[in-house]
Amino acid sequence: MRKERLFKILIGLLVAVNLFSCSPTKFVPEGKYLLNDTDIRIDNNTISKEQLQAQIRQKENLKILGFIKFHLGLYNLSSAKKEEGWFKRIGEAPVIYDDYMTERSKEQLKLYLKNKGYYDASVSGQLTVKEKKQKVDLVYTIEAGEPYRIRNYDYRFVDRGVESLILSDTASQLAGPGEIFDVDVLNAERQRMANLLKDHGYFDFSAEHISYQADSALMNRQVDLTVQIADDDLEDELEPIKPHRKFIVRSFQITPDFVPPQLSGNRPLMEQDSLKNFPYTFYYQDQLKYKPELFYAVNRMEDSLYYSQKNVERTYRSLVQLRQFRVVNLNFDEVPDLGNDSIGVLDSKFQLSALPRQGFSVDLDGTNSSGNLGVAGNLNYQHRNVFRGAEIFNFNLKGAVERQQTLIENNNLNFNTREVGIEGSLTIPKFLSPLKRGALFSYQVPQTDLTLGFNYQRRPDYTRTITNFRFGYNWKTSPSRSHFLNVVDINYVNLYEFNDEFLNSIRDLYIKSSFTDHLIFAMNYTQVDNTQNLKRRDHYRYFKWSFESAGNMLSAYSSIFDRPKASIVDTITGQVADYHQVLGNRFAQYLKADFEYRYGYMIDKYNSVVARTFVGVGLPYGNFDVLPFEKKYFTGGANGIRAWQVRSLGPGTYHAPEGAYPNQSSDIKLEANLEYRYRFVWRIEGAFFLDAGNIWAINEKDNRSGAQFKFDQFYKQIALGTGMGLRFDFTYFIFRLDLGMKLRDPSLDAGKRFIVGNYPISAEHFNLSFAIGYPF
């Protein structure tokens, strides 16, 4: 009943504060009015209403769910006799309507519309005064009118040297005949042309060398636009034309242990040694800590004959990606005694301040594994430059205890899981392969990753050890797109010391085969597209898909060499079956694919809506006719459908016997989540959510009733849950508390699967989840 009580308390708190906000004029002075609501009405749907809202200089108080002025309600709980107080600090003072701010907003709206080409737009403000309630509603009405459009789009080149390059790239231009005369688009086009020239050798060219001349005297809302490309002398138009020069980069002067002046203090400068290998010169003290070959590989400026801003940016990204330097500066000095009127010469300087080469750390972390909370301690050792090629070696020793949710042993929720692990990894900033580096790695230097680890886990129902080895690559092809390819991903899983009750609970089920010793020899690939920028609050999209294949190479090897099958005794059932083995172990064989999409919509500074969908399918076959248990899908818990405990939902309409082991996992997963997030108080964020989905079996051998996926039935087996949550932002991590309530349970009888209206609400319909971080 505690879950019900908590749910009622949270709802009651929102309702109570909302009641206070229903009379929010407690702190509105006599003769003044509370700005209750602002809105924009415009007769042109092609103009962004969101951008128009951003021009308004005075807005109403912050709202939750679009109508609850929660923070104003908190402010109104404070005492009128005190200038300061806790409720005043965490709440929001009432917004008092101001005529001057309304006029400023109208002017700003007009200016924005002019920049967008709507020079004849009219903006008016209609004020509705509610005298008794001491409130006003303000509506800005906009009649956009017809926009000005570009009729002719021409170029005038004062410097003819750049003409051919500009005209050869007109297919990429952002403005042209027929387009709206949008100042923001024209500025973006100006910057695009400047970047194009910088990428082709014109080091000192800037957007200031490009100007527009517009003739709008045609009286028909049309503009003749001329783009003028000036010469290199902007100060004196009477001087002879001075053409822009292309630049070549003559040399690369690299200082890997550079000390910025602000950090050097009054320390005397030490003499530096140098190593020359034209066009490179390395300056260092005592010894050169990095192999020169590292910088030969990272430097992308040599990819082009002339200076290229794009290649400079690629070099900078690659240097930052190495995780070796706290300061990365790339500077250029013009060599005045070299070059001529058409070609200039530059010297490049790499000023790099190194991070500490080695380090130890001891961490105590909260963990969240499949919704189970625990505590983990980590001893970490890191060497940032182990072979003098910016290779990063990490060694980790981990110990953990966790609260494993299980229905066996009287629903014991103590810290009943123990884990000890050791892992070493090596990251090499190059593509270790006989294949040559191609255009695939032009954006950023790829990384090769090697990992070797051993993990011991003591659980209430069994003990297992996992030995893993992974060899793969990761790289980026754009700011938002990342790739992860594991060419070899090996996991050897050994299970023993089974709990008798656990064995009895799964002995007659198809999934029992998942809990046997096995070897996974897999190859997998993942691509992630993520437009989220943590430094800027904006709408974002996240798309992830992955594919994994296991056992096929080993199966081909067994067939080609006609290796005999071994008779294996099932550790649970005692039955004997014949399977291929490698290194004395039965290997798993399956195909698996996942798809995940998220969209974050930022309503305003404090309110957002985030949606997520997930589809996953695993197909076992051949040497192992069931997915290994660590590769199966499950739902429920803090990161799934939160109204259910982790692994307690599905598959399909299957209802586990009372007291059975909660390991309801399977081969197919469909899940969708919708979450509304809002700023609550202080560092606390609130959320309302709706979750839907389930898991299903793909294999007809699965003998759990109602577990199989069927196209004409699966949509009737979707589980629904809702709830509310709190997120506590402690800067370095976010602690999350979610209280979910079941709305529709597919394990109930058909026609009575909706909880509300069919069953009295009780504690069993609620689930309280604790977690670290956002669910998605």
Residue-level pLDDT at 363? 78
Q: What is the Cα Rg of the chain in Å?
A: 33
Kindly list the distances between the CA atom of residue 190 and the CA atoms of 175, 195, 621, in Å, as whole numbers in the listed order.
10, 9, 58
Q: What is the mean pLDDT of residues 2-15?
A: 57
Whether pLDDT at 145 is above 70:
yes
Whether pLDDT at 407 is above 60:
no
Q: Which segment, 13-17, 89-93, 136-140, 492-496, is predicted with the most confidence on average? A: 136-140
| Domain locations in the chain as residue ranges | 2-143, 149-244, 247-354
Higher-confidence position of 559 and 142: 142
Residue-level pLDDT at 440? 63
Give the H or E element holding residue 767.
strand 766-772
Could you give phi then psi for residue 403, rounded to 5 degrees? -85, 100
Cα 107–111–117 angle (5° rounding)? 145
Judge residue 315's burial from the number of C-beta atoms within 10 Å of its C-beta, 0-12 exposed, 13-18 middle, 19 or more buried.
buried
Q: Which fold has domain 149-244?
A: Ubiquitin-like (UB roll) (3.10.20)
The single-letter DSSP state of residue 21 is: H
In contact, 259 and 270? CB cutoff 8 Å: no
Place of tokens 């039935």: 713
In contact, 577 and 567? CB cutoff 8 Å: yes
Amino acid at 648: S
Cα separation of 19 and 4, whole Å? 22
In tens, the pLDDT along 21-55 reads 446 788 899 889 999 999 999 999 999 998 999 99
Q: What is the mean pLDDT of residues 138-158?
A: 94
Cα separation of 37 and 69, whole Å? 11
Q: The domain 2-143 is classified under which CATH number: 3.10.20.310, 3.65.10.10, 1.20.1250.20, 3.40.309.10?
A: 3.10.20.310
Whether pLDDT at 692 is above 70:
yes
Higher-confidence position of 190 and 757: 190
List of residues 6+ apart from 606 with CB closer than 8 A: 62, 678, 679
How is residue 637 written in tokens? 């818990």
Separation of CA 492 from chain center: 31
Cα separation of 244 and 305, whole Å? 17
Cα separation of 309 and 354, whole Å? 24
Cα separation of 304 and 416, whole Å? 61
In tens, the pLDDT along 243-259 reads 899 999 999 999 999 88
List of residues 6+ apart from 427 with CB closer than 8 A: 391, 392, 394, 447, 448, 449
Residue-level pLDDT at 359? 92
List of residues 6+ apart from 362 with CB closer than 8 A: 377, 378, 379, 380
Q: Please tell me if the domain spanning 2-143 has the same topology as the one spanning 149-244.
A: yes
Cα separation of 441 and 116, whole Å? 39
Strands (E), 230-317: 246-255, 273-277, 280-284
Strands (E), 429-462: 447-458
Confidence class for position 406, pLDDT limits 50, 70, 90: very low
In contact, 155 and 169? CB cutoff 8 Å: no
DSSP track, 105-163:
HHHHHHHHHHHTT-TT-EEEEEEEEETTTTEEEEEEEEE--PPPEEEEEEEEESSGGGH
In tens, the pLDDT along 557-578 reads 888 888 888 877 665 556 677 8
Amino acid at 189: E
Cα separation of 187 and 184, whole Å? 5
Cα 340–341–343 angle (5° rounding)? 60
Q: How many CB atoms lie within 10 A of CB 719?
A: 25
- Sign of the four-CA dihedral 301, 304, 309, 315: negative
Superfamily of domain 247-354: membrane protein fhac (3.10.20.310)
Separation of CA 499 from chain center: 40
**Residues pairing with 729 in the sheet:** 734
Could you give phi then psi for residue 750, rounded to 5 degrees? -55, 135
Cα separation of 315 and 330, whole Å? 9
Confidence class for position 322, pLDDT limits 50, 70, 90: very high
Q: What is the mean pLDDT of residues 728-743?
A: 89
Q: What is the mean pLDDT of residues 82-91?
A: 82
In contact, 607 and 63? CB cutoff 8 Å: yes
Whether pLDDT at 550 is above 90:
yes
How is residue 624 written in tokens? 């192992």
Confidence class for position 409, pLDDT limits 50, 70, 90: very low
β-pairing verdict for 358-369 and 576-579: unpaired
The single-letter DSSP state of residue 90 is: H
Cα separation of 186 and 227, whole Å? 10
Higher-confidence position of 485 and 363: 485
Give the H or E element holding residue 691.
strand 684-696
- 3-class secondary-structure state, position 725: strand
Helix 183-198 to helix 99-115 angle (10° resolution) is 50
Whether pLDDT at 413 is above 60:
no
Residue-level pLDDT at 443? 82
Q: What is the mean pLDDT of residues 292-313?
A: 94
Residue-level pLDDT at 570? 61
Amino acid at 154: D
In tens, the pLDDT along 625-635 reads 888 888 999 99
Residue-level pLDDT at 408? 43
In contact, 191 and 208? CB cutoff 8 Å: no
